[in-house]
Structure 1
Amino acid sequence: MLAVHARYRGRSSRRADLVARSAQALATLPGVGTFDVLGVEDICAVVESPESVCDLVMALLSDGDWAIGIGVLPESNSAATTKSVATGSLPRQARAGIVKATVQDHPKEISTDIEAVFALLGQVLQKRTMEGREATSLVRRGLNQNEAAEALGISKQAVSQRLQAAGWQAETAGWQLAVNLLKRADRPSP
């Protein structure tokens, strides 16, 4: 079972409202359960699949104001316990952009590898321009480059250039690597 815990680290003066609204918005992502709002800054939800975990973590990293904990408890059917593992993986003073993972009943290396791939993905996302964000958002939703070009009112070549500058190939490779690591982590240890 998989869970994600996120702690808001931004500067909003109305952080409780922002955190509650963020929890509602993030719960609309496919495979993401309802978030528990834990105090003023923290939210936590069980997530159905490694793909959904990656989509959720990428959304939080893109925002730039969240510290993120991932909990993986293979063979568990307890949402509360899995959420507790996710919450326990995130140090109290973790800063925005940090992803910490705890995988129960597996060697520590798998947690470290999950953290490393999200650190690399975070770097790709941080360097992205607004134009790059627009192009990658459309392609991520399933549009091809011609359709994205039409939606943006630019040429296919311009979309291709934006995707290249935005690190789209690195993002898709990193996303797949993260999914593969989470799938391995969510299986019982041999």
Structure 2
Amino acid sequence: MCWIFMSERGWSSMWALHARYRGRDTRRAELVRRFAEALSTLEGAGEFELLGVEDIRAHITHPATACDVVMALLAAGDWAIGIGVVPGIDKPTDEDEAQIELAKKTASEALRPTARAGAVKVRIVGARRDDPRAFNISASFALMAQVLSKRSFEGREATSLMRSGMNQNEAAAELGISKQAMSQRLQAAGWQAEQAGWQLAVNLLEHSAQP
């Protein structure tokens, strides 16, 4: 069942993501399928459909979920991402297939055929292609992608546990290290910058969907 994000003003919004694998894994079809299955389990994400061998696409019903999906793909590397935004409507329904399909189509249009791994492009229904809201969202993810690219294996390991919902004590215990060592790993990995960037992207995505 699809649920649609509602603001205090009563309007509803819809997002969609279209991601394309740009890596060189010889078993790319299996890898892409696994990603589609895993991302489909996130609350607020529709089922990710497979489009050919390298592409996956789904509607998203909350900006935080959209950011979680993008961050997961950026952390994995080798993915180019398009985001489609359908601004709010006055009379939302629990299920609006037309709105879902429009969001998916817009996400596919945002993802250029030549898009490189790590690129995140945004298109907003009814807005110009050079809309500053779309640029700002893309820029926020570009900054976070830069942070992610600088991480060591230990940093990726530590931040992955934090992103899963653990606190520092729990993550340190999971890794068999001290809380101080965990704190140092997170600092070196730019965890605070990622958290700030994630919240910024959520706010921008929510703002982009205002009518």
Identify whether the pair has TM-score above 0.5, normalized to the shorter chain. Answer: yes
- Higher mean C-alpha displacement, 147-156 vs 3-12: 147-156
The aligned counterpart of 2:154 is: 131
Is 2:17 the counterpart of 1:17?
no
Structure number having the greater helix percentage: 1
Asked if 2 retains the 8 angstrom alpha-carbon contact of 1:148 and 1:159, the reply is yes
Structure 2 unaligned spans of 5+: 1-13, 90-95
The aligned counterpart of 2:5 is: none
In 2, Cα distance between equivalents of 1:6 and 1:115: 14
Kindly report which structure 2 residues correspond to 1:103-122, keeping only aligned pairs within 5 A, or say none: 103-106=124-127, 108-122=131-145
The aligned counterpart of 1:175 is: 198
Deviations 1:100-130 (A, max 9, x none): 0011234600000000000000011111111
The two structures, once aligned, show a CA RMSD in angstroms of 1.3
Aligned residues: 188
Is 2:18 the counterpart of 1:5?
yes
Kindly report which structure 2 residues correspond to 1:46-65, keeping only aligned pairs within 5 A, or say none: 46-65=59-78
In 1, Cα distance between equivalents of 2:159 and 2:21: 24
In 2, Cα distance between equivalents of 1:39 and 1:75: 31
Q: Normalising to structure 2: TM-score of the pair?
A: 0.85
Deviations 1:135-159 (A, max 9, x none): 1122222222122211111111100
Deviations 1:30-55 (A, max 9, x none): 22110121111111000110000000
Q: Normalising to structure 1: TM-score of the pair?
A: 0.94
Deviations 1:135-184 (A, max 9, x none): 11222222221222111111111000000000001000000000000000
Q: Which residue among 107, 131, 143 is the counterpart of 2:166? A: 143
In 2, Cα distance between equivalents of 1:22 and 1:143: 22
The aligned counterpart of 1:83 is: 104
In 2, Cα distance between equivalents of 1:143 and 1:7: 30
Is 2:113 the counterpart of 1:100?
no
